[in-house]
Amino acid sequence: MQKIKITDNISEMTEIGKEIVASKPELYTEPLKKVIKRGCEKIYRIYKDVSPNDMFYKSIYDYWVYGSIIDEELYFGFYNKPHSEKSNYFTAKNRLMYINHLNDINDAHYLNNKYDTYLELKKYFKRDVILISGEEDYELFCDFVKEHPTFVVKPLNMGLGMGVYKETAVRGKDVRKVFDKILVHKSKDGRDFSPNLGGIKSENKVVLEEEIDQDEALARLHPASVNGIRCTTVRVDDKVHIYHPWIKMGVNGEFMASAAIGGFDAGIDPETGIVDTNGESESLESFEYHPTTGVRIRGFKIPKWDELLQMADELGRHFENLRYIGWDFVLSKRGWCVMEGNYAGEATWQLTYKKGTKDEFEKLIGWKPDKTFWWE
């Protein structure tokens, strides 16, 4: 692919986008174009200066120049930002250049495979986890649900909360029924997510996790969801930096607390553990108070913050060849515990603070890519 002209002219971006789509029919299939166009319709409801059709081609331009997917076009505000601002964002594609510089892909399985993560970091999980692969695991499953009749089901190697749901199995026929459903990876809405969901493949395996008994201090934000803290650890030389942490909150009684599926996030001052932004959703809603519980977001103090920082520092040093990790922590009644680690953790802090931080990050790690475009 040839170099792309850098421009802030909408007409030029649109024409370049049209040329790219025409040159890549194998990539821009009708199903993919429908997904992108739905995103453009959402943008048009907010930003009516560009038609959905032109926004479609502009988003293609932004993808190949900045690496932004259609959701980021919306929640990072790329639809009306100039090049000088867009070029400073970590996006779905360009942040991988930095992650691959800091991390060794050969060790990615420690984080991408949820059971490998548990086996390696069991003492930090503070709960029981088992792996279900097939019929041979039925007895293991029965023993697990005797202790934990309500538990969380997670596909082995999928992210962004995809395919995760809470399940209950009680004695009798229900146990067999639930086990059979888990084997075919059926969630409560009947979706089969084992072959492919959102372009991310999952092995035909799931992990079952003991439900986290969330501490009341964080549960009061939204009791139905586990309101986790994302701490990105960046190890430079012998120092572990806690980089722009944020809190994830669920809404309306939903179990999952993820902005990717309807919840919202808020930034946290890493020095004090105090939330220092309003809640921000990926649909560009801003919340001064939690819409379900009424708790004020900005100024909320995360309890036992020093203990969380100590755990994050330990974990940031645990893997010699993984220097960038997105950790999800939960404050349980047993103390802080790891929910999971993310090899290519997203840069959602740019949503909560409404600005890109690529230049800042390059200064922190003392490195920048030697190419203009992520795909070169």
- pLDDT tens digit string along 183-223? 875 444 434 444 333 333 445 688 999 999 999 999 999 99
CATH number of this structure's domain 99-109+214-365: 3.30.470.20
Structure tokens at 209: 């996790």
Instruction: Specify the long-range contacts of residues 42-51, CB closer than 8 Å, at least 24 apart.
Output: 42/74, 42/283, 43/73, 43/74, 43/79, 46/74, 46/79, 46/284, 47/79, 47/80, 49/80, 50/10, 50/79
Q: What is the pTM of this model?
A: 0.89
Q: Looking up tokens 């909408």, which residue turns up? A: 10
Segment 120-141 shows an average pLDDT of: 93
Query: To which CATH superfamily is domain 128-210 assigned?
Result: ATP-grasp fold, A domain (3.30.1490.20)
Q: What is the pLDDT of residue 185?
A: 59
pLDDT class of 161 with cuts at 50, 70, 90: low
Question: Are the beta carbons of 323 and 234 closer than 8 angstroms?
Answer: yes
- pLDDT tens digit string along 239-288? 999 999 999 999 988 776 776 677 899 999 999 999 999 999 998 999 99
- pLDDT tens digit string along 337-349? 999 999 999 999 9
- pLDDT tens digit string along 27-70? 999 999 999 999 999 999 999 999 999 999 999 999 999 999 99
Q: What is the pLDDT of residue 158?
A: 58
Q: What is the pLDDT of residue 171?
A: 66
**53-82: b (≥16 Cβ within 10 Å) or e:** ebbbbbbbbbbbbbbbbbbbbbbbbbbebe
Q: What is the pLDDT of residue 157?
A: 64
Q: If we measure between CA atoms, which residue out of 187, 190, 177 comes closest to residue 142?
A: 177
Mean pLDDT of the chain: 90
Q: Where are the domains of the chain?
A: 10-81, 99-109+214-365, 128-210
